[in-house]
Structure 1
Amino acid sequence: MKNLSVKLGLLFFLIIFTLELFLFFFLHSSLVESRVEEELFSLQSRGDAHKDTLRTSFEADTIQHVALMEREASTDVIVTNLKGSVLASSLSLDMKKIISSGMKLQNGVVENDWENQPYIVTVSSIPNQGYVFMFQNTNSIQTLIDRLNNHFFITGLITAFLTIVIIILLSIALVRPLNKMKEATIQIKSGDFSISLPDIGNDELGKLAKTINLLASELKHLKQERSQFLANISHELKTPLTYLKGYADIVQRKELPIEEREKYLSIIQEEAKRINTLVEDLFELAKIDQYGFKMKKQPIHLSDFLAHLHHKFEPAFHHQSMRLHVEMPKENIIVNIDSARVEQILYNLLDNSLKYSQTATETTLKIWTNTNDLYISIVDNGSGIQEKDLPHIFKRFYRGTYSNHSSNVGSGLGLSIVKELVNAHNGDITVKSNAKTGTTFTIMLKGAVLNEKDTFSR
């Protein structure tokens, strides 16, 4: 960051110094030009005053009096007739060239080159009588300009010094939070997410600091989730693998009766099935997390979809002396969904109803619409979900307490998959449960219902 502060400082200094140099040059030129114009105006006014005096009395005494007055002043005068002959002068120098050029003017500036000429000169014409030439030595103007230059030089040095100090302070103030952000990113890179950058406002740097804080918080959460996830997977696999190894060792005993051998083989088969289900769920979650699947939405007739679903699940419910009842609107509804994914959602929810409901109970699959939104609810008469478990049931590997159905407890991933798939459909899922009345899952798929015009256009 030192290099950055130096680069920023130099860049700011060059920009500001160039701007200040331009402004100083412009101001200096303006002041000098203004000052010279003031001197010329003052000289012209003095010549006009003499002209007014001589216009009324263009006599030798008056002319000599004018010349005498200027000998005592800082300016000089030359009075000539119409032909350019000098009648009176406060100068000892021959100014024929100046007089000759001034006779072409009625009134105005004859010479204003104060940098190279010894005098600035103005002329005032006396109608039908002569001319009044006023002279001012340029040494006084140059002295004034030299003082002005000294003032500008000193002011420029002070301004440059203050500019450097201000730029250094600004560079430090700008780079300091960047240094802290760099240190924070190094911490994040090393795996330490316990950072907290200070709030420095709502500008770009402030927003960047807030973003880094949010990133650290998210990464910390992800790290904890990953650790928990790995711990849960290890735990979930360890138990069935222990059973598999233990019962496989028992089955290998030669003296083991056939009945017990078949019993242990059945347990091994169940545990292998449990591991297979867990692995399949993990693959499904991995695809969802890595966006490895694409939603293949297409318009379908909802009645056909539900008929197929009922035909597929009814035997499983019948086998357990349970009933699956479907309620849906009578009119033909066309929905835009990924039918395979929605079937997967309903499979998980209906499978839970099978696991946690008593025999001779009924599960209702109810469908209704609200404008373009599709609603699906699954209502069972099972044992329900305990109130303390409700806020957590969609978390991965979370499983509530099911004392009456411990043998049917799944991997704890099914509802997590359901939640992810509903979200992928731009939908939402809610749950209500009571130990007496059972559980109700309600799914809302936003914008899934199509009208005939939409269907035709597709």
Structure 2
Amino acid sequence: MAQPKSMYLRQVTVMLGLIILCMTLLGAGFFSLSYRYQLQEIQSTLDRNAGFISDYASVALTEGSSLTDKDFVNYIQSVVLLTDTTVLVCNTEGLVVCAAGTNWNQELLTSGEVSIPAWATNQLLSGRSYSGMTTFDGIFNTRCYVTSEVLSPLVRDQNTGELVSSNVPTGFLFVANDATSVMEFLQHTFQLFFITAIAVLLITLIICSFTVQKMVDPLKSMCSFAHRFARGEVDVRITDYKNRNDEIGELAAAFNAMADSLAQAEQKRSEFVANVSHELKTPMTTIAGFADGILDGTIPPEKERESLQVISSETRRLSRLVRRMLELSRLQSSERVAAQEQFDAAEILLRVLVSLETKITEKDLEVETHLPHGPVMVWGDPDAVTQVCYNLLDNAVKFASPKGLLTLKITTKAGKAYIAIGNQGETIPPEQLTHIFDRFHKADSSRSTHKDGVGLGLYIVKTLLNTYKEDIFVTSENGFTEFTFTLSEV
């Protein structure tokens, strides 16, 4: 079985990965921008220096001087000292006639004639300027950033009388700056950035480890509580994170609520099993007792018919109990599909009232109805609502006092129809009202007076109404008990 991945390691890895990715992108952008900025500064400086030398050379050539005159050479050397650059001057054939600076191969220049590579001079002869990174085939000791100018004398414009370039090349000027300084700057910057990035990563690792650990520890604790709960420790609850106003606190509260709900469900299941056992045991004990009494002669022949009637009554009660339990099981399973159609709630209620006419007459009850003049059209399952009305009205008749009052009422409000069924009888104590819809719940008085009840009728009523997301309420005061349930109007 594969080991589960640690949430701690996964979260720390993801956060460090994001930091490394951000630092990499930031570093790449920073170095690219710095490199371009340095090159632009060098190019601007070289172009400016080349322009000064070119202007001076143009004036000197106009006055008849040559590119090898002492004054011209001294001027170039002065520029080199001030700008820390290297300058090469060559004729139109590319032969170097003047060199100043420190970043050129002196052995090569003093050993004989040195020429600028033809590809550079040809580019200038074709009218295009040259700039770029090069060593000029070993003339420079290191790679240099080089810019160029064409040297030509000035002539007087016949129209304006101003001195302008003759555009007749006399020579070429190359001004170079060592690119090593740029690389050294970038190297030092990279070293500083690398050290800073390592420090940031270490700090991030510490903070992430602490933060993620603080987040994971409560989850581990809750996992431990969940395992203990699964092993049967249903009384275990999470108390360490109740006061946290975050998702961890909400999770702890949700776990405790779930544990309470499951504990209550387990308690109800145990009570259900106990109630079922009791309800089944009572009629079966009665049936077995009377049957054995008849068989062994304990019950005299003249009382056998009476005993058989008791056996028959208990058998029917046992049958009703099993039928109700099967019906309840079907309601709570997925077999039941909640049908939705329109029907008249008043018609359903009156039809159920007529079906119980015999029982009502036997107890000589007074029936009082408060129904709307027209139909009360609602949504739902007519069969389910019929069963709800029958169970409630049957209970009302069963627990009503002889010659008492039975009430049926329908009112409408805010899109809901309220169907109320009430009776005069014994007042249900408040402590009984909270459990009246529980399975197998029967008040003590009802157990003694109505032994044919199984305590599932009201629970089935509530289950049916919950299927359609409807409500049911009960009130009992001064000997009058009333059940009210809702249905959605059309």
CA-CA distance at 1:77 after TM superposition:
1.9
CA contact 2:94–2:117 (8 Å) conserved in 1: no
1:418–1:138 CA distance, 2 compared to 1 (3 A)? closer
The equivalent of 1:120 in structure 2 is 145
Mark the runs of 5 or more structure 2 residues left unpaired by the alignment.
155-170
* Structure 1 counterpart of 2:131, one-letter code: V
Distance 2:404 2:42 in 1: 113
The equivalent of 1:111 in structure 2 is 132
The equivalent of 1:439 in structure 2 is 481
Distance 1:157 1:264 in 2: 96
The equivalent of 1:190 in structure 2 is 231
CA-CA distance at 1:63 after TM superposition:
0.8
The equivalent of 1:454 in structure 2 is none
1:252-287 Cα deviation digits (max 9, x unpaired): 342533344444444433333333333222222222
The equivalent of 2:85 in structure 1 is 75
1:318–1:143 CA distance, 2 compared to 1 (3 A)? closer
The equivalent of 1:133 in structure 2 is 174
CA contact 1:123–1:131 (8 Å) conserved in 2: yes
Which of 410, 419, 426 is matched with 2:462 structurally?
419
Which of 28, 35, 59 is matched with 1:25 structurally?
28
1:305–1:110 CA distance, 2 compared to 1 (3 A)? closer
Distance 2:126 2:250 in 1: 71
The equivalent of 1:453 in structure 2 is none
The equivalent of 2:159 in structure 1 is none
Distance 1:337 1:146 in 2: 80
CA contact 1:105–1:123 (8 Å) conserved in 2: no
1:173–1:62 CA distance, 2 compared to 1 (3 A)? farther
CA-CA distance at 1:8 after TM superposition:
5.0
CA contact 1:348–1:415 (8 Å) conserved in 2: yes
Mark the runs of 5 or more structure 1 residues left unpaired by the alignment.
451-458
Does residue 1:64 correspond to 2:83, yes or no?
no
Structure-1-length-normalised TM-score: 0.80
The equivalent of 1:90 in structure 2 is 100
Distance 2:44 2:361 in 1: 116
State, as a whole percentage, how many aligned pairs show the same letter. Answer: 25
The equivalent of 1:228 in structure 2 is 271
CA contact 1:70–1:90 (8 Å) conserved in 2: no
1:290–1:114 CA distance, 2 compared to 1 (3 A)? farther
CA contact 1:107–1:123 (8 Å) conserved in 2: no
The equivalent of 1:251 in structure 2 is 294
The equivalent of 1:455 in structure 2 is none
Q: For the pair shown, which has the larger CA radius of gyration, 1 or 2?
A: 2
Q: Per the alignment, in what secondary structure is the counterpart of residue 389 of structure 1?
A: helix
CA-CA distance at 1:313 after TM superposition:
0.8
CA contact 1:63–1:79 (8 Å) conserved in 2: no
Alignment of structure 1 residues 42-441 onto 2, 5 Å: 42-54=45-57, 57=60, 60-69=69-78, 72=81, 74-79=84-89, 88-90=98-100, 92=106, 93=109, 94-97=114-117, 100-101=121-122, 103-104=124-125, 109-113=130-134, 118-125=143-150, 128=153, 131-155=172-196, 157-158=198-199, 161=202, 168=209, 172=213, 175-193=216-234, 194-196=236-238, 198=241, 211-302=254-345, 304-370=347-413, 372-402=415-445, 406-408=448-450, 410-436=453-479, 438-441=480-483
Distance 2:130 2:202 in 1: 42
1:14–1:104 CA distance, 2 compared to 1 (3 A)? farther
Distance 1:373 1:157 in 2: 68
Q: Per the alignment, in what secondary structure is the counterpart of residue 431 of structure 2?
A: coil
* Structure 2 counterpart of 1:236, one-letter code: E
CA-CA distance at 1:20 after TM superposition:
3.6
CA contact 2:58–2:153 (8 Å) conserved in 1: no
CA-CA distance at 1:385 after TM superposition:
1.5
Distance 2:344 2:187 in 1: 95
Distance 1:242 1:114 in 2: 115
Does residue 1:37 correspond to 2:52, yes or no?
no
1:226-255 Cα deviation digits (max 9, x unpaired): 122222222333333333333443333425
* Structure 2 counterpart of 1:446, one-letter code: S
CA-CA distance at 1:430 after TM superposition:
1.6
CA-CA distance at 1:314 after TM superposition:
0.5
Alignment of structure 1 residues 2-17 onto 2, 5 Å: 2-7=5-10, 9-10=12-13, 13-14=16-17, 16-17=19-20
* Structure 2 counterpart of 1:66, one-letter code: Y
1:254–1:115 CA distance, 2 compared to 1 (3 A)? farther
CA-CA distance at 1:180 after TM superposition:
4.1
* Structure 2 counterpart of 1:118, one-letter code: R
Q: How many residues align?
A: 445
CA RMSD in angstroms, aligned pairs only? 3.7
1:322-366 Cα deviation digits (max 9, x unpaired): 344444333244444422222221222222222222222231223
* Structure 1 counterpart of 2:146, one-letter code: V
